[in-house]
């Protein structure tokens, strides 16, 4: 199973297996990783699953939809690697993906 | 795959987490109950956590029921909020397909319908809401259905088929979402609404008109001002009867006329109940060992300065976190701004705040054409809510304006050429 590394704002590192087809958001929720809230359960409606994709992986994850891009412009502290983690589905190619979590989702 | 549990999970992993012989019982295992269980552990609860739920499933996402689950795109295993082993890992036990019939606050015990008695130290009520029933002649015919849980959708699916005639009673969000999905599945869909417009209770007339237009463009018929008086049919429904004497053919009827909070247990136990189980800002009831969260609660909303009861995932999750902390002795305040979403056809509606009691609406974009606009609701010059259709920035920034009570220039707000971000900068 592909592995995702979640780095929380306080530096805590969680390496967890996320099945192919599951989203990066689901991986965090399943493993009770705090920094992802995911109020809408992955329907791209809440932007409380914001994460920063590590530089090395930015170009490997599929591009964001217009809807996601619009939401990302309005999250707290957007950065170049900003993504909604519910919109990134894991594949074997993404094995080893590293994402950082923001301090707050609101 | 199996999701049906009866009896408790007693794996070694569960036992590893239980350091004290205290027990917190959670009644209701859905959005609020599941989150409350997880948050209890995160807040440092070291005793047993037992969630009792009458549905035979682990906590699952309810919103897709009228969206991608109804259409068959998603399956039960896709709905689960968390998989079974993750609860085991942190020592959360479930008793599913079981109902609590009584709470004895003096003895600190709950009784299950089949007679088992379980003691608690702390108790959480996350009993949610049940559909409001329409008791009319013929209501019990096969094919006259509601939409609240997985079993409802499974029943609806038995009546689905191309060109079948579906009548939706009630033009609220769930009715409209169901109509959109059934239309997509190629049924002939008609919505009957008793008042003079759909979404009457929750939006401005312009927004109702917009949804009416889009639904008719997509081929859904909407009839307003219709009073349904009964249903006819042999062994299954074949017609809907209306007060003006008209009779409408139907193979399937889905009733969506709102929900009623499940407060009977709390009331019988002598807890304060007013249109929901009353909780304070820490989500505790008038018994400090009992918390409540989600659709079943009634509470004072500081931003809107009135008591409200909400039906949203946001509220269920956020209250659950505050309630769990309070049961562990950490008193946080619940003051999150309400928000909600609805997906219909290619529309994503995102709502922030509560629009009730508005005295002015500012439109951004034209609801009379296209499929993208927002309606901002004001009261006494202050923005109180936004309905944003395919306009995520309006939703996101509107939410900030409302919760921080920022002033906005309404002329610039109504001009889509002025970017939302620019409006924020100039605040
Ligand atoms: C079709 C549909 C679509 C929706 N779409 C959206 C949406 O897009 N966005 C949004 O924010 N919200 C939506 N909602 C609302 C949202 O699902 C609810 O607000 C949410 O489910 C509330 O969670 P809850 O845990 O408080 O209550 P519920 O989900 O109602 O769960 C309560 C649970 O408690 C159980 N229970 C009750 N009494 C007992 C007892 N005595 N013993 C044991 N168990 C008991 C019930 O069986 C139930 O499983 C939708 C709801 C429906 C039905
Ligand atoms: S979970 Fe809501 S947008 Fe990702």
Three-state DSSP at A87 gives: helix
Query: Among B300, B295, B297, which residue's Cα sits nearest to residue B311?
Result: B295
- d(Cα A86, Cα A73) in Å, to the nearest integer? 16
Backbone angles phi, psi at B192, to 5 degrees: -105, 125
Q: Which residues of A touch B294 (CB under 8 A)?
A: none
C-alpha distance from residue B65 to each of A27, B80, B151, B257 (Å): 22, 12, 10, 16
Query: Among B112, B121, B151, which residue's Cα sits nearest to residue B7?
Result: B112
Residue A45 CB–ligand 2 contact under 6 Å = yes
Backbone angles phi, psi at B110, to 5 degrees: -115, 150
Exposed (0-12), middle (13-18) or buried (19+): which is B367, by Cβ within 10 Å? Answer: buried
State residue B12's pLDDT score.
Answer: 53
Q: Is B382 on the interface with A (CB under 8 A)?
A: no
- d(Cα B75, Cα B391) in Å, to the nearest integer? 29
Q: What is the largest CA-CA distance in chain A?
A: 33
Assign B6 a pLDDT band (cuts: 50, 70, 90).
Answer: very low
Assign B427 a pLDDT band (cuts: 50, 70, 90).
Answer: low
**Do B59 and B32 meet the contact criterion of CB atoms below 8 Å apart?**
no
At A3-49, the pLDDT tens digits run 999 999 999 999 999 999 999 999 999 998 989 999 999 999 999 99
**Do B102 and B25 meet the contact criterion of CB atoms below 8 Å apart?**
no
The beta-carbon neighbor of A47 closest among B67, B391, B396 is B396
Cβ partners under 8 Å of residue B158, min gap 6: none
Q: Which long-range contacts (CB under 8 A, 24 or more apart) does B129-133 make?
A: B129/B259, B129/B260, B129/B261, B129/B262, B129/B295, B129/B296, B129/B311, B130/B259, B130/B260, B130/B262, B131/B255, B131/B256, B131/B257, B131/B258, B131/B259, B131/B260, B132/B257, B132/B258, B132/B259, B132/B260, B133/B255
State residue B286's pLDDT score.
Answer: 98
* Chain B interface test: which of A46, A65, A67, A78 (most B C-beta within 10 Å): A46
At B136-161, the pLDDT tens digits run 999 999 999 999 999 999 999 999 99
* Paired tokens of B340: 């909600």
- d(Cα A80, Cα A61) in Å, to the nearest integer? 13
State residue A34's pLDDT score.
Answer: 86
- Cα(B337) to ligand 1 centroid in Å equals 19
Q: Rounded to a whole number, what is the distance in angstroms from the first to the last CA of chain A? A: 31
**Do B88 and A68 meet the contact criterion of CB atoms below 8 Å apart?**
no
Q: pTM of the full predicted structure?
A: 0.95
Q: For the structural domain made of A3-100, what CATH number should be given?
A: 3.10.20.30
Residue A25 CB–ligand 2 contact under 6 Å = yes
The helix (run of H) or strand (run of E) holding residue B151 is helix B150-158
Buried b or exposed e, range B203-215, using 16+ CB within 10 angstroms: bbeebbbbbbebb
Is residue B9 pLDDT above 90, yes or no? no
Per DSSP, the residues of B348-410 read EEEEEE--TT--EEEEES-TTSSS-EEEEEEETTEEEEEEEES-HHHHHHHHHHHHTT----H
What's the whole-number mean pLDDT along residues B330-337? Answer: 96
Per DSSP, the residues of B405-418 read T----HHHHT-TTS
ipTM of the complex: 0.93
Percent pLDDT > 70 in chain B is 96
Ligand nearest to the CA of A36: 2
Residue ranges of domains in chain B, CATH in brackets: 4-130+260-327 (3.50.50.60), 144-257 (3.50.50.60), 346-426 (3.30.390.30)
Residue A28 CB–ligand 2 contact under 6 Å = no
Domain boundaries, chain A: 3-100
Backbone angles phi, psi at B39, to 5 degrees: -65, -30
Is residue B14 pLDDT above 80, yes or no? no
- Cα(B130) to ligand 1 centroid in Å equals 8
C-alpha distance from residue B20 to each of B10, B43, B93 (Å): 16, 15, 15
The DSSP call for residue B420 is H
Q: Measured in whole angstroms, how far is the alpha carbon of residue B203 from the centre of its chain? A: 17
Three-state DSSP at B301 gives: strand
């Amino acid at each position: 199973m592909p592995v995702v590394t979640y780095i929380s704002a306080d530096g805590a590192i969680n390496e967890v297996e996320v099945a192919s087809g599951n989203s990066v958001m689901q991986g965090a929720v399943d493993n009770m990783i705090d920094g992802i809230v995911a109020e809408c359960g992955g329907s791209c409606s809440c932007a409380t699953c914001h994460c920063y994709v590590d530089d090395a992986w930015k170009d490997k994850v599929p591009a964001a939809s217009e809807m996601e891009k619009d939401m990302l412009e309005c999250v707290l502290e957007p950065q170049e690697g900003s993504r909604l983690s519910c919109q990134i589905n894991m594949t074997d190619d993404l094995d080893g993906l590293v994402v950082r979590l923001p301090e707050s989702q609101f | 795959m199996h999701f049906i549990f009866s009896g408790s999970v007693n794996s070694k992993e569960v036992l590893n987490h239980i350091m004290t012989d205290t027990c917190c019982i959670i009644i209701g295992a859905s959005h609020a109950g599941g989150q409350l269980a997880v948050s209890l552990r995160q807040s440092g609860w070291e005793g047993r956590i037992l969630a009792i739920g009458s549905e035979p499933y682990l906590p699952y996402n309810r919103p897709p029921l009228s969206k991608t689950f109804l259409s068959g795109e998603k399956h039960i295993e896709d709905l689960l909020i968390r998989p079974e082993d993750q609860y085991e890992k942190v020592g959360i036990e479930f008793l599913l397909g079981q109902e609590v019939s009584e709470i004895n606050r003096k003895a600190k015990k709950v009784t299950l319908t089949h007679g088992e008695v379980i003691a608690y130290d702390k108790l959480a009520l996350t009993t949610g809401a049940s559909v409001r029933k329409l008791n009319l002649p013929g209501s019990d015919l096969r094919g006259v259905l509601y939409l609240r849980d997985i079993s409802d959708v499974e029943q609806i699916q038995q009546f689905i088929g191309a060109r079948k005639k579906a009548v939706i009673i009630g033009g609220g969000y769930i009715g409209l979402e169901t109509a959109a999905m059934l239309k997509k599945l190629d049924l002939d869909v008609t919505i009957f609404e008793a008042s003079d417009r759909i979404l009457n209770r929750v939006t401005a007339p312009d927004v109702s008109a917009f949804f009416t237009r889009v639904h008719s463009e997509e081929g859904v018929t909407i009839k307003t001002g219709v009073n349904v008086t009964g249903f006819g049919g042999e062994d299954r429904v074949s017609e809907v009867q209306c007060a003006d004497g008209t009779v409408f053919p139907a193979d399937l009827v889905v009733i969506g006329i709102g929900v009623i909070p499940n407060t009977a247990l709390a009331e019988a136990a002598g807890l304060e109940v007013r249109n929901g189980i009353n909780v304070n800002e820490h989500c505790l009831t008038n018994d400090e060992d009992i918390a409540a969260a989600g659709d079943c609660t009634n509470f004072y909303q500081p931003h809107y300065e009135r008591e409200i009861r909400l039906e949203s995932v946001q509220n269920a999750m956020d209250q659950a976190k505050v309630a769990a902390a309070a049961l562990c002795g950490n008193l946080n305040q619940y003051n999150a701004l309400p928000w909600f979403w609805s997906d219909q056809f290619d529309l994503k509606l995102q709502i922030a705040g509560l629009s009730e009691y508005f005295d002015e609406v500012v439109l951004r974009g034209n609801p009379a054409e296209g499929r993208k606009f927002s309606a901002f609701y004001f009261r006494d010059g202050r923005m109180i809510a936004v309905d944003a259709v395919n306009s995520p920035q309006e939703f996101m920034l509107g939410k900030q304006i409302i919760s921080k009570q920022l002033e906005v220039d309404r002329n610039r707000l109504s001009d889509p050429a002025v970017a939302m971000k620019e409006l924020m900068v100039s605040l």
